[in-house]
Structure 1
Amino acid sequence: IRRVPQDRKNLLVGYHVCCLRCGFNTPALAGNDGLDIDEGDAPDDLTFSKALRCTFCRVLMHVAHGELRLEEDADVRHIRFR
């Protein structure tokens, strides 16, 4: 997970979130589709108000207190790498 902009003194635009399932980076923009991003005092204390869907493999990514949890549903693409 990488903050945009990286300097925490600046206004939050969003985060780049790397999917643990496929490795694709998905943007999480603050305010987009009702997404609220809560940043704690520590740089790794981060919570999203709702799940983010990976742009490539479509898995749901839940971020709560800096922990990323994946959830597969009917929309997930089953991808194989060669």
Structure 2
Amino acid sequence: MTLHQAAFPLKASLGQPQFCALSAILQSIEPAFDGHAFLVAALDDLESLTLMERVRRASAAMPLARVHCEATTLCWHC
């Protein structure tokens, strides 16, 4: 499964504008994040979650994503 295929259900659940907005918010906090990959990994069971729950889950996953960012990109400014 490609990243695009994995991201499609998330985009469909949130809608393109909300998906892009949430991705942009997370990337503004940490520019090295791959917003699509991060959101796909951080959020599951999308159909049953409210937008605020999705944001809460994404926020809770950020420390792990930062570790991944540092390990894979050697991003020393984080």
TM-score, normalized by length of structure 1?
A: 0.30
Quick check: which one's helix share is greater?
2
Quick check: which one's strand share is greater?
1
TM-score, normalized by length of structure 2?
A: 0.31
Q: RCO higher in 1 or 2 (8 Å CA, sep ≥ 6)? A: 2
